[in-house]
């Protein structure tokens, strides 16, 4: 009875501190999301860095920092090669389109008048709006520079944080575990290590699928003489890291580019995607991704929606690893398993 006022004051102070911490977390939620995404990317890239660090040439072997440098150098070389192969056709077509737009815009509007669905549109008003947009394009671009600068700053900070998490992630991980009692620390450590292993396996399998789709799609685009074949092939492989939505976006972009030239190329791309989806679902995924994630399709779709709502494209990219982490924690701490 004598300790009840003290316990009451302690509970009130704890509730006040917890509410204040939640309020501060809400104010800096964008920073917390950036930290989480960077840490998760570090966990995903950790096995690749460790595998590179195990390589050795004679008596000389890679350290973790050297491995990160060579990986960054390889990524920069790949981006440079992509720029030389893929970007020139796109830039040339954009320049040609900007030069010919003033003369082709009236012809395009006349063709729109003949379509059934556009008969009720005010073509004159549409023409004036398009010309106004073209004349004020520089102003719109200047107004959006600040938004683009903020996005680029977040990308750069996320990249730097990922590198630091890879280099000093072990210290941060041990510091995080020190907040838990010693009797539950070992169990949490084993659970998180198991989740990290599953995330690493998922990344390896997803990387193989991305490489296969990128190479095969590039070959298909080149054989069909699709415009921007290299750019579309690389983009198709990269976007495959996003389950379900990535393949749909790639197919839409490829069909949109193909429809500019001929319907035969559209049919060719559609046939390629149908064949690839069948091969991937029946042969590649069962052999490459078997027992790597163990998540139902509904859980993956829900994770994609939540990731997009919370953090946009970065949230979509880390949605599946996050779902794996949540699944392992729920299975360890909440699921009541049978004694058998």
The 3-state DSSP class for residue 60 equals strand
Structure tokens belonging to residue 47: 């096995």
pLDDT of residue 45: 78
Q: How far apart are CA 269 and CA 274, in angstroms?
A: 9
pLDDT of residue 236: 85
Q: What is the DSSP letter of 226?
A: -
Query: Average pLDDT by consecutive 10-residue portion of the chain (340 residues)?
Result: 66 87 87 84 78 70 73 78 74 70 64 54 54 55 62 81 85 87 88 86 81 89 85 83 73 82 85 86 71 70 81 77 87 73
- φ, ψ for residue 220, nearest 5 deg: -65, -45
3-state secondary structure 160-190: HHHHHHHHHHHHHHHHHHCCCCHHHHHHHHH
pLDDT of residue 1: 47
Q: Classify residue 56 by burial, with Cβ atoms within 10 Å: 0-12, 13-18, 19+.
A: exposed
């Amino acid at each position: 009875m004598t300790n009840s006022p003290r316990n009451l004051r302690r509970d009130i102070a704890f509730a006040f501190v917890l509410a204040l911490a939640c309020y501060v977390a809400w104010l800096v939620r964008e920073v917390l999301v950036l930290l989480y995404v960077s840490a998760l990317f570090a966990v995903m890239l950790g096995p690749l860095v460790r595998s590179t660090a195990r390589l050795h040439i004679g008596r000389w072997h890679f350290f973790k920092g050297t491995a990160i440098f060579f990986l960054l150098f390889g990524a920069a070389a790949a981006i440079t090669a992509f720029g030389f192969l893929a970007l020139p056709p796109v830039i040339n077509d954009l320049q040609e389109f900007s030069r010919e737009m003033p003369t082709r815009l009236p012809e395009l509007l006349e063709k729109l008048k003949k379509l059934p669905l556009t008969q009720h549109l005010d073509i004159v008003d549409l023409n004036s709006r398009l010309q106004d947009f073209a004349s004020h394009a520089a102003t719109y671009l200047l107004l959006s520079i600040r938004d683009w600068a903020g996005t680029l700053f977040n990308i750069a900070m996320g990249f730097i944080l990922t590198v630091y998490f890879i280099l000093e992630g072990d210290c941060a991980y041990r510091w995080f575990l020190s907040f838990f009692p010693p009797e539950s620390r070992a169990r949490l450590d084993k659970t998180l290590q198991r989740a990290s292993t599953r995330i690493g396996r998922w990344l390896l399998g997803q990387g193989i699928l991305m490489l296969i789709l990128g190479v095969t799609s590039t070959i298909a685009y080149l054989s069909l003489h699709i415009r921007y074949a290299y750019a579309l092939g690389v983009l198709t492989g990269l976007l495959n890291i996003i389950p379900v939505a990535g393949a749909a976006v790639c197919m839409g972009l490829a069909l949109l580019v193909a429809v500019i030239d001929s319907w035969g190329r559209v049919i060719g791309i559609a046939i390629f995607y149908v064949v690839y989806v069948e091969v991937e679902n029946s042969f590649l995924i069962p052999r490459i991704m078997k027992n790597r994630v163990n998540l139902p399709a509904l859980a993956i779709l829900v994770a994609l929606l939540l990731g997009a709502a919370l953090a946009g494209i970065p949230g979509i990219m880390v949605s599946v690893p996050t779902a794996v982490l949540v699944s392992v924690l729920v299975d360890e701490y909440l699921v009541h398993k049978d004694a058998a």
